[in-house]
């Protein structure tokens, strides 16, 4: 039963992953990628890692892909204004991704299948065990990853801030005094509506 489920989900995952690459419409690509993420979450479920599956769906399918879709909808990409890449670029892309595939295959060939035992404990993926592992054995890497995320967040805020400042300056140069007055007006409205 589990084996058949595994084959079915794997087939679906590979198929949708291929469709991500082959579909012409970027929105369709994103939706296929969402299906791929679902299949990966199902694989986690088969390994009895419920927490990981739920978080995978919430973070990847629920948040990151929604943002992708959001950006693509705003940009409104379609076939007509998609920039055509030259053959040199295409060849380069094929070679680099082929090399990556070779690296993956090599790494998988070297791995020993026996070293991972799933049957020994069925509860490894449950929240309590995962939490214990994360906050005892792997506390330092966990904290370092959170600092990395914080750095990315601060960077995004910094970029947004300079952009906002520049936009305000441009508006000021364009409109002169009027913009100051209107800005004050907006401030007053904001205070009133608080």
The binder of another protein chosen from 51, 77, 171, 183 (CB under 8 A): 51
Tell me how far apart the alpha carbons of residues 130 and 48 are, in angstroms, rounded to a whole number. Answer: 12
33 neighbors 70 (Cβ within 8 angstroms): no
Binding flags for another protein, 29-48, as an x/- string (CB under 8 A):
--x--x--------------
**Assigned token pair, 39:** 């299949």
The answer to whether the Cα torsion of 169, 175, 180, 185 is positive or negative is: negative
The binder of another protein chosen from 12, 20, 46, 69 (CB under 8 A): 69
Binding flags for another protein, 110-149, as an x/- string (CB under 8 A):
----------------xx----------------------
- DSSP per position, 117-150: -SSS-TTTTSHHHHHHHHHHTTHHHHHHHHHHHH
Q: Answer yes or no whether residue 57 interacts with another protein by CB under 8 A.
A: yes
The binder of another protein chosen from 67, 88, 107, 157 (CB under 8 A): 67
9 C-beta neighbours (distance < 10 Å), count: 18
Q: Answer yes or no whether residue 9 interacts with another protein by CB under 8 A.
A: no
Tell me how far apart the alpha carbons of residues 145 and 58 are, in angstroms, rounded to a whole number. Answer: 19
Contacts to another protein by CB under 8 A = 27, 31, 34, 50-51, 54-55, 57-58, 61-63, 66-67, 69-70, 73-74, 126-127, 193
């Amino acid at each position: 039963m589990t084996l058949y489920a595994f084959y079915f989900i794997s087939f679906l995952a590979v198929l949708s992953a291929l469709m991500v690459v082959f579909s012409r419409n970027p929105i369709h690509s994103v939706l296929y990628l969402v299906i791929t993420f679902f299949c990966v979450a199902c694989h986690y479920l088969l390994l009895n890692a419920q927490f990981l599956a739920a978080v995978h769906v919430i973070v990847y399918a629920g948040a990151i892909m929604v943002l992708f879709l959001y950006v693509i909808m705003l940009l409104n990409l379609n076939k007509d204004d998609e920039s055509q890449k030259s053959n040199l670029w295409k060849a380069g892309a094929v070679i680099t991704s082929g090399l990556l595939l070779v690296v993956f295959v090599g790494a998988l060939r070297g791995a020993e299948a026996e070293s991972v035992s799933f049957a020994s404990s069925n509860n490894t993926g449950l929240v309590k065990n995962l939490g214990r592992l994360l906050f005892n054995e792997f506390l330092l890497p966990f904290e370092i990853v959170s600092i990395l995320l914080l750095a990315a967040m601060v960077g995004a805020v910094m970029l947004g801030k300079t952009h906002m400042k520049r936009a305000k300056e441009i508006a000021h140069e364009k409109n002169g005094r009027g913009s100051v007055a209107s800005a004050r007006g907006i401030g007053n409205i904001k205070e009133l509506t608080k």
